[in-house]
């Protein structure tokens, strides 16, 4: 089976390939010569994942999947959520995003949060969604310098250290993306092996 993953992120591609194994050939956008800037205009993670997957399916007629991730903070009614990458304005300015989040949580005792990844899969026109969640809390200040994005201020449940203080192997073994990808892998195994 061949599936296009609507990304060119090498780390994500490797993670997915490791989980789904040899039975699925996972192609990147570059592998199908797709260089489109697919607008992520939905106001939910699920909506954005579907926009990207539908774009590939409709334009190329290829079975495919796409993901979208956000950090959902309980005391902020689920923000920054779908807007996690551009919470402070500029796309992917992690330092500014973390600063804004810590400021918005000043004085709040409820620091519960979760990372959530949604994967939208389309096979022969049929759509399926998978949700991977890791629960945790927002630290009061940044800790550690591994990882990316909000890792220095996210402490997963049952741990004392932030994602940015963990080895990448440790973080990846419990991450939202890993959990969503595992569900995708299990579904493909059950249905297409």
Residues that bind ligand IMP (CB under 6 A): 68-71, 84-85, 92, 115, 147-151, 163, 175
Q: Which is nearer to ligand IMP, 22 or 92 (CB)?
A: 92
Tabulate helix, strand, coil % of the chain (nearest 5).
40, 25, 35
Q: Which is nearer to ligand IMP, 27 or 144 (CB)?
A: 144
> Closest residue (Cβ) to ligand IMP?
149
We find the least distance from the C-beta atom of residue 78 to ligand IMP, in angstroms, to be 13
Judge whether 68 counts as a catalytic residue. Answer: yes
We find the least distance from the C-beta atom of residue 193 to ligand IMP, in angstroms, to be 28
Compute the distance between CA of residue 42 and CA of residue 51 in angstroms, rounded to an integer.
8
Structure tokens, 39: 């607008």
Q: Which is nearer to ligand IMP, 70 or 185 (CB)?
A: 70
Structure tokens, 173: 């073994």
Q: Can you say how many angstroms the Cα of residue 98 is from the centroid of all Cα atoms in its chain?
A: 17
We find the least distance from the C-beta atom of residue 69 to ligand IMP, in angstroms, to be 4
- Output the CA torsion sign for 116, 76, 148, 144: negative
Q: Which of 68, 93, 151, 186 is catalytic?
A: 68
Nearest to 11 by CA among 177, 182, 187: 177
For the annotated catalytic residues, the residue numbers are 68
């Amino acid at each position: 089976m061949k599936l296009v993953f609507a990304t060119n992120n090498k780390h994500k591609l490797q993670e997915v390939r490791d989980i789904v194994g040899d039975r699925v050939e996972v192609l990147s956008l570059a592998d199908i010569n797709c260089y489109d800037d697919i607008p992520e205009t939905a106001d939910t993670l699920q909506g954005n994942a579907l926009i990207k997957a539908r774009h590939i399916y409709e334009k190329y007629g290829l079975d495919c999947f796409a993901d979208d991730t956000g950090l959902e903070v309980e005391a902020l009614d689920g923000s920054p959520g779908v807007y996690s990458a551009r919470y402070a304005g500029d796309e992917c300015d992690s330092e500014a995003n973390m600063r804004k989040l810590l400021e918005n949580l000043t004085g709040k005792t409820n620091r519960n949060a979760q990372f959530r990844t949604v994967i939208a899969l389309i096979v022969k026109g049929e759509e399926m969604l998978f949700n991977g969640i890791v629960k945790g809390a927002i630290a009061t200040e940044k800790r550690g310098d591994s990882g990316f994005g909000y890792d220095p201020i996210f402490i997963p449940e049952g741990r004392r250290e932030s994602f940015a203080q963990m080895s990448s192997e440790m973080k990846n073994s419990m991450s939202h993306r890993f959990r969503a990808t595992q569900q995708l892998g299990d579904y493909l195994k059950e249905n297409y092996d």
